[in-house]
């Protein structure tokens, strides 16, 4: 599966045309409503994205009671912050520890926790990631410039069902007493997939 | 189906190439492809598992070389063609030639935020207690159905341990065939990397696969 956008230009303009043709047909047949389709695009382009998940992680770091609620019932705890909906109906958090690093994949398609991370990046849906995340996660992490200590266990979660996984990365050192808002700036999308780590205070102030 | 979508453990696709500062969409057509795929899902003419099987059934040379939104659009077209919602000629010209079929639901713009927020939960009331418990050692079954399944090839006939029970969920293997939801208990099963990928696997790793009860036998 293509992971880059080096498709030749004619293929891309073919798709523009094909998709326009399809949409006008579906509208004429009355199967969909154009303004409703616009709402879908608007939602995933501007409203739902990894800032949602970053708020969940920051709150989990700052508030032990919230972390416990996430462990007990992540879907409800995440819904407390207003994040619900498609591809987030059945949430579970997986917590990184000094011993164990978690990483999420969908080897069979493109399952991803939309409600907290938005739409998946191209690489997440690509053959290289889907094929190798389960069999050689350490090598895959090196392709994201992530290097873990030799003795860290890597636990990979293959999203074969409708459970959607959100990684709680390790809280960076030097962040004691930080507000949730400030902590959230350290939480990258990739750190919540497990292909990255949370940023250090130096990295955000730099 | 043992198709091109079942990628876990393949070694032929090269390194992962994350795109720096990747935009959410790489062109307007991707936005419309997303919107139509989600929008037609609300029309209620197929379920999630049927739509996944439609994508898996695309020709391998297509599946392996196209972008995911192209796969979505072609999967969507095939689902509509199979049901007579559109014809080949209509897809080619964009001109309506046959009467529209009645669909279950057309979501309006006003209704869409609530419809997206509601999502499509798949947890169901169980008809029997879970047959297995956390800590149980299990072996996945060895199946190769030509229909839809969510038991990946790399995890078939492997020894693992149940580490969580997720609840009772719609069973894709039945639901994709139009045989009803047939809800089954769903477990998180952990396998060691050596069990899955042999003695040369990266040490100390494990993979957790969500498995419905029919995929498992207690050891």
Q: Write down the pLDDT at residue B26.
A: 94
B95, part of any domain: yes
CB contact under 8 A, A15 and B113: no
Looking at the 3D structure of chain A, how many domains does it have? 2
Residue B218 in tokens? 């207690």
The CATH number given to whatever domain includes residue B85 is 1.10.472.20
The answer to ipTM > 0.85 is: yes
Question: Which structural domain range is residue B181 located in?
Answer: 137-218
| Tens digits of residue pLDDT in A158-186 | 999 999 999 999 999 999 999 999 999 99
> What mean pLDDT do residues B46-52 have?
98
CB contact under 8 A, A161 and B113: no
The CATH number given to whatever domain includes residue A55 is 3.90.330.10
Q: Between vectors from CA A39 to CA B115 and to CA B75, what angle results, nearest 5°? A: 75
B13, part of any domain: no
A1, part of any domain: no
A141, part of any domain: yes
- Choosing from B118, B146, B170, the residue where a domain stops is B118
Count the helices and strands in chain B (H runs, E runs).
8, 5
C-alpha A173: how far from its chain's center? 23
A2, part of any domain: no
- Residue A97 reports pLDDT greater than 80: yes
| Tens digits of residue pLDDT in B124-163 | 999 999 999 999 999 999 999 999 999 999 999 999 999 9
Same domain, A36 and A55: no
Which of B65, B68, B149 is the best substitution to test chain A (most A C-beta atoms within 10 A)? Answer: B68
> Can you list the positions of beta strands (E) in A24-115?
90-95, 100-105
Question: Which structural domain range is residue A32 located in?
Answer: 9-45
A205 is annotated as an active-site residue? no
B90, part of any domain: yes
A147 is annotated as an active-site residue? no
B130, part of any domain: no
Give which of B36, B40, B53, B6 is closest to B177, Cα–Cα: B53
Instruction: Indicate the residue of B7, B18, B96 with minimum beta-carbon distance to A107.
Output: B7
Same domain, A13 and A80: no
> Can you list the positions of beta strands (E) in chain B?
137-140, 159-169, 184-192, 205-212, 216-218
Same domain, B52 and B98: yes
C-alpha B107: how far from its chain's center? 23
Give the three-state DSSP class for A177.
Answer: coil
B107, part of any domain: yes
In terms of pTM, does the model score above 0.95?
Answer: yes
């Amino acid at each position: 599966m293509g992971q880059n956008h080096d498709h030749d230009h004619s293929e891309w303009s073919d798709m523009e045309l094909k998709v326009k043709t399809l949409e006008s047909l579906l509208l004429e047949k009355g199967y969909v409503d154009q303004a409703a389709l616009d709402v879908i695009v608007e939602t995933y382009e501007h409203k739902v994205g990894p800032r949602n998940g970053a708020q969940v992680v920051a709150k989990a770091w700052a508030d032990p009671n919230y972390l416990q609620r996430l462990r007990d019932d992540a879907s409800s705890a995440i819904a407390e912050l207003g994040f619900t909906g498609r591809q987030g109906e059945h949430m579970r958090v997986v917590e990184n520890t000094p011993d164990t690093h978690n990483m999420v994949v969908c080897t069979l398609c493109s399952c991803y926790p939309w409600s907290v991370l938005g739409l998946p990046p191209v690489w997440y849906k690509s053959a290289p990631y889907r094929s190798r995340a389960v069999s050689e996660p350490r090598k895959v992490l090196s392709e994201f410039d992530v290097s873990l200590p030799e003795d860290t266990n890597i636990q990979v979660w293959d999203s074969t069902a409708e459970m959607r996984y959100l990684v709680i990365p390790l809280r960076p050192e030097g962040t004691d007493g930080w507000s949730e808002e400030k902590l959230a700036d350290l939480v990258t999308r990739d750190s919540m997939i497990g292909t990255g780590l949370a940023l250090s205070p130096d990295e955000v102030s730099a | 189906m043992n198709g091109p979508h079942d990628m876990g453990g393949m070694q032929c696709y090269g390194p992962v190439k994350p795109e720096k500062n990747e935009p959410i969409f790489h062109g307007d057509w991707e936005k419309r492809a997303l919107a139509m795929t989600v929008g037609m899902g609300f029309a209620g003419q197929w379920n999630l598992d049927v739509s996944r099987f439609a994508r898996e059934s695309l020709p391998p040379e297509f599946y392996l070389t196209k972008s995911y939104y192209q796969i979505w659009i072609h999967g969507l077209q095939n689902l509509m063609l199979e049901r007579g919602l559109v014809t080949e000629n209509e897809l080619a010209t964009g001109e309506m030639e046959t009467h529209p079929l009645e669909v279950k639901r057309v979501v309006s713009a006003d209704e869409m935020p609530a419809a997206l927020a509601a999502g499509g939960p798949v947890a169901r009331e169980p008809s029997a207690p879970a047959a297995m418990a956390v800590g149980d050692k299990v072996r996945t079954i060895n199946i190769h159905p030509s229909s839809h399944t969510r038991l990946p090839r790399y995890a078939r006939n492997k020894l693992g341990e149940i580490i969580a029970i997720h609840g009772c969920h719609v069973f894709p293997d039945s639901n994709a065939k139009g045989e009803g939801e047939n809800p089954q208990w769903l477990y998180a099963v952990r396998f060691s990397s050596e069990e899955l990928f042999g003695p040369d696997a990266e040490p100390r790793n494990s993979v957790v696969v969500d498995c419905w009860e029919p995929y498992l036998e207690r050891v």
